Structure 1
Amino acid sequence: MAATVGAQSVIKVAALCGSLRKASFNRGLIRYAVQLVKESAVTGIEIDYVDISPLPMLNTDLEVDGTFPPVVEAFRQKIREADCYLFASPEFNYSITGPLKNAIDWASRPPNVWADKAAAIVSAGGGFGGGRSQYHLRQIGVFLDLHFINKPEFFLNAFQPPEKFDSEGNLIDLPSKERLLEVLVSLKAFTLRLQGKC
């Protein structure tokens, strides 16, 4: 939960990327969000990137006497301890990716550790910039009792000139950087509101 530094609460953000590729554009969005926090462009939050790649495919046979495999329990603990979430959600076939859905499902196993938290979604891709995946993720969030910020929305067409990312998947587009900062500011404010701190 939120830690206190001096008189200010520090919001703990768990950041998840639906792409497993290291140089993915969506992973690049999270890297830049982490950089913004380190540079104090937005204060009062810390971002922990939560790697979903080690998670096994959901199989309730792996749950034994109410316990989860160690890697799943470690993941669930990180989700439980966060104050809010930042999802970078690429679009596969008009929806979220298999790895992200798998991670969501593991953390929703009883007791659901997503519930009553704030969340934001960013995405990069072709066409609509991952927008359809965002809408699907919002639908899933209804059942999970996740509360997504409504604005600003962040959909980025990564293939429309000018270049938005470098060859390693790092965000280089200044207007997109500014919009991502706005998302983090909004997520922080909404999280504090849900916690009754503002």
Structure 2
Amino acid sequence: MTDLDILGISGSLRGGSLNTALLRAAQKHAPAGVTIDLYDGLAGLPYYDGDLDTEEALPAQVRALRERIHAADGVLFATPEYNYSIPGGLKNLIDWASRPSATSSLLHKPVAIMGAAPTNFGTVRAQLALRQVFVWTHSDVVVKPEVMAFRAHERFDEAGNLVDDDTIKLVTSLVDALADKIRTAAK
């Protein structure tokens, strides 16, 4: 198989997001032949509205999102945890991307999940909630390794670079596992 293109999607809107920094670390430490392109349109997506989900009315930014996910070989999600679950903006993105269900950009798409949080429990519950959503979309989720960067503020330097060797190894292993899943699905 040729080089792999993975779309990285952060569920955080913050400029200094540790989840976006986690995706940048995945870009930096991706194996040869794997490119991770970061999606930056989360803030521009309108709330999901079935009345707009028609060929004539579909917002341009939604069409672009669906096209980018379709074009990607796989998707790497980095999610924070808000109120024991995934942030509303990320759920909204998935609601748009998962329709129409018969031709969804997420249908059978290889995906991987990771997350960073300042707490001791990390993003455990958010990742579980996201995995549940991906059951409905019929996405092909990487099961292991699980990357839950707890006390994440201690794992990055002031410039937002991941400096914790154990977390770097986990992120690298997750990207490797996603690449393996993509290659297996292509056979």
TM-score for the superposition, normalised by structure 2 = 0.92
Q: Give, as a single letter, the amino acid of the residue that structure 2 aligns with 1:59.
A: D
Is 1:106 matched up with 2:96? yes
Number of the residue aligned with 2:32: 43
| Residues 140-193 of structure 1, C-alpha deviations (whole Å, 9 max, x = no match) | 001101111111111111258xx2112343312111111111111111011111
Amino acid at match of 2:64: A
**Distance in 2, Cα, partners of 1:86 & 1:64:** 27
Q: 1:170 to 1:147 in 2, by over 3 A?
A: same
1:68-87 alignment runs, 5 A limit: 68-87=58-77
Displacement of 1:64 after TM fit?
Answer: 4.3
Partner AA of 2:34 in structure 1: I
Q: Normalization by structure 1: what TM-score?
A: 0.87
Asked if the contact 1:11–1:188 (Cα under 8 Å) also holds between the matched residues in 2, the reply is yes
Is the 1:13–1:45 Cα contact (8 Å) retained in structure 2?
Answer: yes
In structure 2, the partner of 1:130 is 123
Mapped partners of 1:168, 1:102: distance in 2: 29
Kindly provide the amino acid, as one letter, of the partner of residue 38 in structure 2.
Answer: Y
Residue 186, structure 1, aligned to residue 177, structure 2: yes
> Residue 18 of structure 2 contacts residue 152 of structure 2 at CA under 8 Å; is this kept in 1?
no
Contact 1:27–1:169 (CA under 8 A) maintained in structure 2: no
**Whole-Å Cα distance in 2 between the matches of residues 66 and 158 of structure 1?**
46
Match of 2:23 in 1: 30
Matched, 1:150 2:143: yes
Aligned-pair identity (%): 37
Deviation at 1:22, TM superposition (A): 1.7
**RMSD, matched Cα:** 1.5
Work out the number of aligned pairs and report it.
183
Q: Distance in 2 between matches of 1:174 and 1:141?
A: 29
SS in 2 for 1:46: strand
Tell me, what secondary structure is at the counterpart of 1:62? Answer: coil
User: Match for residue 3 of structure 1?
Assistant: none
Cα offset, 1:66, TM superposition: 5.0
* Cα deviation digits, residues 72-92 of structure 1 (max 9, x gap): 111111011111110001111
Moved more, 166-175 or 143-152: 166-175
1:58 Cα deviation after fit: 1.0
